[in-house]
Amino acid sequence: MREVALGEHERLDDLMRSGRKIIQNTREFCFSLDAVLLAHFPRYRSRQRVLELGTGTGVIPLLIADEVAHVEAVEISPVMAELAARNVHMNELEEKIAVKEGDYRAIRSLYPAESFDVVLANPPYRPVAHGQVNKMSGVARARHEFTATLTDVVCAARYALKFGGRFAMVHLPERLGEIIVAMHEHQMEPKRLRMVQPKADKAPNMMLIEAVVGAAPGGLKVMPPLIVHREDGSYTEEILAIYGMQDAGEET
Contact 37, 226 (CB under 8 A): yes
Q: Give alpha helix (H) positions in 4-148.
A: 33-40, 59-64, 78-90, 139-142
**DSSP class of 42:** S
Non-local (6+) Cβ contacts of 95 within 8 A are none
pLDDT digit string, tens, across residues 208-228: 999 999 999 999 999 999 999
| Distance (Å, whole) CA 130 – CA 108 | 30
Non-local (6+) Cβ contacts of 234 within 8 A are 252
Three-state secondary-structure class, residue 193: strand
Three-state secondary-structure class, residue 155: helix
Q: Read off the pLDDT of each residue in 62-81 and give the average, rounded to a whole number.
A: 96
Query: Residue 147 has what pLDDT?
Result: 64
Query: Residue 131 has what pLDDT?
Result: 47
pLDDT digit string, tens, across residues 142-192: 554 456 799 999 999 999 999 999 999 999 999 999 999 999 999 999 999
Tell me which of 233 and 28 has the higher pLDDT.
233
What domains sit in the chain, N to C, each tagged with a CATH number? 30-224 (3.40.50.150)
Give the dihedral of Cα atoms 16, 18, 88, 83; nearest 10 deg: 10
Question: How far, in Å, are 74, 190, 211 from residue 82 at the CA level?
Answer: 11, 33, 30
Tell me which of 140 and 123 has the higher pLDDT.
123
| Distance (Å, whole) CA 82 – CA 125 | 24
Q: What is the mean pLDDT of the chain?
A: 91
Q: Cα–Cα–Cα angle for 213, 214, 218, nearest 5°?
A: 95
pLDDT more than 70, % of the chain: 89
Radius of gyration of the chain (CA): 18
